[in-house]
A = this chain, B = another copy of it.
Amino acid sequence: MQRRKPSPILYSYFRSSCSWRVRIALALKEISYDTVPVNLVKDGGQQFSAEFKEMNPMQQVPALKIDGITLSQSLAIIHYLEDTRPKPRLLPQDPKKRAQVRMIADHIVSGIQPLQNLSVLKQMGEKKTEWAQNCIASGFRALEQTLKHTAGRYCVGDEVSMADLCLVPQVFNAERFQVDMGPYPTITRINKALLELEAFKVSHPSRQPDTPAELRA
Contact = CB atoms under 8 A, between A and B. Distances in A.
Given A80-B95, A142-B57, A142-B59, A106 B103 contact: no
A103 B73 contact: yes
A76 B102 contact: yes
A103 B76 contact: yes
A58 interface: yes
Contacts of A110: 73, 75, 109-110, 113-114
Interface stretch (A3-11, A64-72, A185-193, A202-210): A64-72
Query: Interface on chain A toward B: helix, strand, loop, or mixed SS?
Result: helix
A120 interface: yes
Contact of A114 (B69, B99, B114, B141): B114
Contacts of A67: 96
Interface string A94-106: 0110110011011
Contact of A99 (B79, B99, B115): B79
Given A58-B142, A142-B58, A99 B80 contact: yes
A178 interface: no
A215 to B, nearest CB: 26
Interface of A: 57-60, 67, 69, 71-77, 79-80, 83-84, 95-96, 98-99, 102-103, 105-107, 109-111, 113-115, 120, 141-142, 145-146
**6 tightest CB-CB pairs across the interface, nearest first?**
A57-B145, A76-B102, A73-B106, A80-B99, A114-B114, A76-B103
14 contacts: A59-B142, A60-B111, A69-B96, A73-B102, A73-B107, A73-B111, A74-B106, A75-B102, A75-B106, A76-B105, A83-B98, A110-B110, A111-B114, A114-B115
